[in-house]
Copies of this chain bind each other. A is one copy, B any other.
Amino acid sequence: MTEPLRLGLVSISDRASTGVYEDRGLPALRDWFGSAVKTPWQAHERLIQDDQPTIEATLIELCDRVGCHLVLTTGGTGPARRDVTPEATLAIADKVMPGFGEQMRQVSLKYVPTAILSRQVGVIRGTSLILNLPGQPKAIKETLDGIFAAVPYCIELIGGPMVETNEEIIKAFRPKSAPRPA
Contact = CB atoms under 8 A, between A and B. Distances in A.
A117 interface: yes
A99 B80 contact: no
Interface stretch (A4-12, A34-42, A173-181): A173-181
A135 to B, nearest CB: 8
Give this chain's copy count: 3
A169 interface: no
A181 B135 CA distance: 12
Contacts of A69: none
Contact of A98 (B82, B119, B124, B154): B119
A90 B172 CA distance: 31
Nearest to A170: B113
29 contacts: A14-B182, A15-B182, A78-B157, A79-B97, A79-B129, A79-B157, A79-B158, A80-B158, A80-B181, A81-B181, A83-B181, A98-B101, A98-B102, A98-B105, A99-B105, A99-B117, A99-B118, A99-B119, A100-B116, A102-B105, A103-B105, A103-B109, A112-B173, A113-B173, A114-B149, A114-B150, A114-B174, A115-B150, A117-B157
Given A79-B97, A79-B157, A82-B182, 18 more contacts: A14-B182, A79-B129, A79-B154, A80-B157, A81-B158, A81-B159, A81-B181, A83-B95, A98-B102, A99-B116, A102-B105, A112-B173, A113-B149, A113-B173, A114-B178, A117-B150, A136-B178, A138-B177
